[in-house]
Structure 1
Amino acid sequence: MREKMNRNISVYYRFKFSQNMLIIGPVLVPYMLFKGLSYSEMMFLQSISAVAVVLFEVPTGSIADRVSRKFSLVISSVITAFGLSLYILCGSFLAFAVAELLFGLGMTFSSGADSAILFESLSRMEREKEYSKIEAKAMSNIFVGQAVGSIASGLLYSVSPYIPFWISLGMLFLSSGYSLFFTEPDHGERSRESYLVHVARSFGDAVKKPRVRWALYFSALMGVMLRASFWLYEPYFKLVRLDIALYGVVFAGFNVVCALSSRYLMKLFENVRPRKSLTFLGLLMGGAYLIPLILLNVGSLAFLALGQIVRALYQPIMRFYINRQIEDAFRATIISIVSLTASLSFAVFSPLIGLGLDRAGAISVYLVMGLVSVGGSLFLWRVRNLQKRKKAAADRKSALDETVS
């Protein structure tokens, strides 16, 4: 069994790489403009995708817990591939909305299951401490591949806007094939309760534990700040008059920053408490919005890369933090609940961001996003300190009561 669990790690690298090798990133906004969409419509579509995640996140996480992690990963890429097919074959807003629903559904099938199968495989070999390192290495491989793909997508887009989408579609089907090679870890604690009871207990566990509850708050903040940043790059590129032919080059640079951050900067956080690391990333995200706004020139694109450091480090640190707080039987479901919080937050605020771009412009939106990121991170740091003081006071009271009795 140990050999199979070790093989899961190599399969995980291949699965994550192919599932995330969608090279459409640099040309997605131009492609949607080419299809006749406005910024408001783009952000509304992202809200639809986020709502789909909210609707499906917990049910699919429960399937991973109660049925099979492997099944969830196989079907994830297939559903996402069908969604991408609609972007290629159709051109109406309604078709894109259906595609976003499929993207949301496909994303939720893997969001908790992939992390769970990796952590549990390591756990069976007593190597849990390697989780963040392996997750970061997997992300680094993805970012290197996307760096090359970003340059290629810009060149291929100039030949035909559809070519990057067809290549990405093939990668999704490849990832589905890789997922068939996973070995499901033995689940001595697999939940046998009914679906509703399982979900209710998972929500109760998430809310009851202060650390998980804090993670929900922070996830809500970063769900907006980090995910919206992708859609705000193109408006900033326009502000500094960057030629569209260079979009792919800039995105390639962003992915190189991500790759280097995943491989090398993660080591700096190995002995730092995850809460401190996450708060630092929130402040760094604020800088990624505010510093380019202050400078406002082509050279300031380098400071947008601060957000790429956050992109590289946030998921491994957050998932390691969550995985340490929960038991196997509810692992995928609670991870999904944390992801659900981020998606719900993004679903609520993304249409407002789109309206802000259309009506107030990119400068105003960047200012608001930066201030909220910095202020929100500092506020949540204070919240966690209050949680710790409350727990310490409760422990002292409990000890005093035992002494008296």
Structure 2
Amino acid sequence: MSGATTPETTPTSTPGRVQAVYFTLLVGNTLAASFIWGINTLFLLDAGLTNLEAFAANAFFSIGMVVFEVPTGVIADTLGRRVSYLLGTVTLATTTALYYLLWVWHSPFWAWALVSVLLGLGFTFFSGAVEAWLVDALTATGYRGSLEQVFGRGVSIAGIAMLLGSTLGGVVAQATDLGVPFLMRAGVLVLMFVLAALLMRDLGFTPAGRTNPIAATRQVLVASVKYGLGRPGVRYMMLSAMFTTGVGFYVFYALQPYLLELWGDDGAYSVAGLAAGIVAGSQIIGGLVAPWLRRRFRKRTTSIILSISVSAGILVVLGVNRSFWVALALLVLWALIDAAAGPVRQAYLNDMIPSSQRATVLSFDSLVGSSGAAVIQPVLGRSADVWGYPFSLALGGLVQALAVPFLWLSRRSGEAADVATTADSAPEPPA
């Protein structure tokens, strides 16, 4: 293809090298993000926000992702996925520094809402683009293994980075203050900008080039509808994310104050960091289990439906539990199931999407999930204010269960990807 990067001139000329670069970017992103995962809710509450305002701030982050998914999708499809990634690191480093300043100044809620929207902008540069870059580059370099294996390894490697980052973030916060992990995050993102500039090249994909922004946005929307909402298997899988994404975000961050409440010491920030670390450890195991899980069932949707159903039940049990150690055990199981099923879902979606629309549709999938998160998180946060964290977790489990009918409809669509195992590009869907 004219303008395409050839394998001989890139650091990603083999499937192994492609995966090495992907894992490097994944480790850096996860490490940077996880510094604050164990203490984010405590950070917001320490800044003077209520539970409702703290989770509303998270909801504005989701709103930012909804608003900017299409524009950043245009950037990924017209200027390249490498450019999109680089812009994401710069945006996230800047907005993370702003978050720190809002905490220092004890700023009003409207300021948190604004910066949270901009944080969402930063993450939209990553969503879709990096995963699409990986799958296209693997296909271009002749990879013929299962996508579950690559995504599963990615989950495990990210889990190791999360274990280190979240635990370190909690320990550093307790030794210094809640703001230092945010400064650490900004610093690592700057480093990732440099590494991506040196290592990442668009391979197996030729950027469309500069074009009229309005026309490009319209093309992205048309492609999203045609290859996303227009294809039953993809449509119902994306719609299920409206219920699972928001609940997942809420549970992860609500577990911080919930576990501290069970522990009996509101200042034990290392406990909150340890909780995030336990999730990370479960991800390490879950990512390795993903290929095994895929082989246990003929259809990918079987394992996805089972995982969503069981994890929803775990949340209900967490809602009635009053033991710290039982909560940790349930948290491990919840994270393990989620980590094992995640790569299966990624592989299923990618096998249904043509290469030229991959970043667009994956971004649209993220947009749908963020739309649900923008509503679900503040609702569950408000329920925590009124009835407590246990009730909000049980309610979250019931909300997540609403995803199961949509997953069943995706299964009923009879997509070939439900039983596919290779990284071959998906064929054009029938008109």
User: TM-score by structure 2 length?
Assistant: 0.84
Q: Which residue of 2 aligns with 1:101?
A: 117
Q: Which residue of 2 aligns with 1:172?
A: 189
Aligned mates of 2:158, 2:409 — CA distance in 1: 34
Distance 1:73-1:382 versus aligned 2 partners, 3 A rule: closer
State the shift of 1:159 in Å.
2.5
Count of paired positions:
388
Q: Which residue of 1 aligns with 2:26?
A: 16
Alignment of 1:2-401 (within 5 A): 2=7, 4-6=12-14, 7-21=17-31, 22=33, 23-91=35-103, 92=107, 93-161=109-177, 162-180=179-197, 181-187=199-205, 194-195=215-216, 196-243=218-265, 244=268, 245-270=270-295, 272=297, 273-300=299-326, 301-374=328-401, 376-384=402-410, 386-388=412-414
Q: Does structure 2 retain, via aligned residues, the 8 Å contact 1:16–1:175?
A: no
Aligned mates of 2:74, 2:51 — CA distance in 1: 35
State the shift of 1:234 in Å.
2.5
Identity %: 23
Which secondary structure does the structure 2 equivalent of 1:90 belong to?
Answer: helix
Q: Does structure 1 retain, via aligned residues, the 8 Å contact 2:37–2:253?
A: no
Aligned mates of 1:266, 1:227 — CA distance in 2: 25
Distance 1:12-1:154 versus aligned 2 partners, 3 A rule: same
Q: Report the residue type matching 1:5 in the other structure.
A: S
State the shift of 1:80 in Å.
0.7
Aligned mates of 1:78, 1:263 — CA distance in 2: 32
Aligned mates of 1:227, 1:314 — CA distance in 2: 16
- Which deviates more from structure 2 when the two are superposed, residues 358-367 or residues 308-317? 308-317
Distance 1:269-1:125 versus aligned 2 partners, 3 A rule: same
Q: Does structure 1 retain, via aligned residues, the 8 Å contact 2:293–2:340?
A: no
State the shift of 1:379 in Å.
2.2
Distance 1:178-1:316 versus aligned 2 partners, 3 A rule: farther
Which secondary structure does the structure 1 equivalent of 2:247 belong to?
Answer: helix
Q: Describe the superposition over 1:221-246 as per-residue Cα deviations: whole angstroms up to 9, x where unpaired.
A: 21122121112203421442354242
Q: Describe the superposition over 1:223-276 as per-residue Cα deviations: whole angstroms up to 9, x where unpaired.
A: 122121112203421442354242222322221111111123443224632211
Q: Describe the superposition over 1:162-198 as per-residue Cα deviations: whole angstroms up to 9, x where unpaired.
A: 2222211111112222221112114369598931134
Aligned mates of 2:74, 2:341 — CA distance in 1: 24
Structure with more helix by fraction: 1
Q: Report the residue type matching 2:300 in the other structure.
A: P
Q: Does structure 2 retain, via aligned residues, the 8 Å contact 1:240–1:297?
A: yes
Aligned mates of 1:66, 1:288 — CA distance in 2: 43
Gaps of 5+ in 1: 390-405
Aligned mates of 1:73, 1:83 — CA distance in 2: 15
Which secondary structure does the structure 2 equivalent of 1:233 belong to?
Answer: helix
Q: Describe the superposition over 1:111-132 as per-residue Cα deviations: whole angstroms up to 9, x where unpaired.
A: 1110011001110123153433
Which secondary structure does the structure 1 equivalent of 2:353 belong to?
Answer: coil
Q: Report the residue type matching 1:369 in the other structure.
A: G
Aligned mates of 2:310, 2:74 — CA distance in 1: 34
Aligned mates of 1:177, 1:67 — CA distance in 2: 19
Q: Does structure 1 retain, via aligned residues, the 8 Å contact 2:279–2:332?
A: yes
Distance 1:295-1:48 versus aligned 2 partners, 3 A rule: closer
Q: Report the residue type matching 1:347 in the other structure.
A: A
Distance 1:383-1:8 versus aligned 2 partners, 3 A rule: closer
Q: Describe the superposition over 1:359-404 as per-residue Cα deviations: whole angstroms up to 9, x where unpaired.
A: 1212221222222323x24423443355459xxxxxxxxxxxxxxx
Q: Report the residue type matching 1:259 in the other structure.
A: I
State the shift of 1:25 in Å.
1.2
Q: Does structure 1 retain, via aligned residues, the 8 Å contact 2:380–2:396?
A: no
Q: Describe the superposition over 1:279-303 as per-residue Cα deviations: whole angstroms up to 9, x where unpaired.
A: 1221132133122234321121210
Q: Report the residue type matching 2:100 in the other structure.
A: I
Aligned mates of 1:206, 1:323 — CA distance in 2: 11
User: TM-score by structure 1 length?
Assistant: 0.89
Aligned mates of 2:378, 2:154 — CA distance in 1: 32
Aligned mates of 1:172, 1:320 — CA distance in 2: 27
Which secondary structure does the structure 2 equivalent of 1:26 belong to?
Answer: coil
Q: Which residue of 2 aligns with 1:397?
A: none
Q: Does structure 2 retain, via aligned residues, the 8 Å contact 1:254–1:308?
A: yes
Aligned mates of 2:136, 2:404 — CA distance in 1: 33
Aligned mates of 1:311, 1:75 — CA distance in 2: 29
CA-based RMSD of the aligned residues comes to: 2.3
Distance 1:381-1:326 versus aligned 2 partners, 3 A rule: closer
Gaps of 5+ in 2: 1-5, 416-431
- Which deviates more from structure 2 when the two are superposed, residues 108-117 or residues 22-31? 22-31
Q: Does structure 2 retain, via aligned residues, the 8 Å contact 1:5–1:125?
A: yes
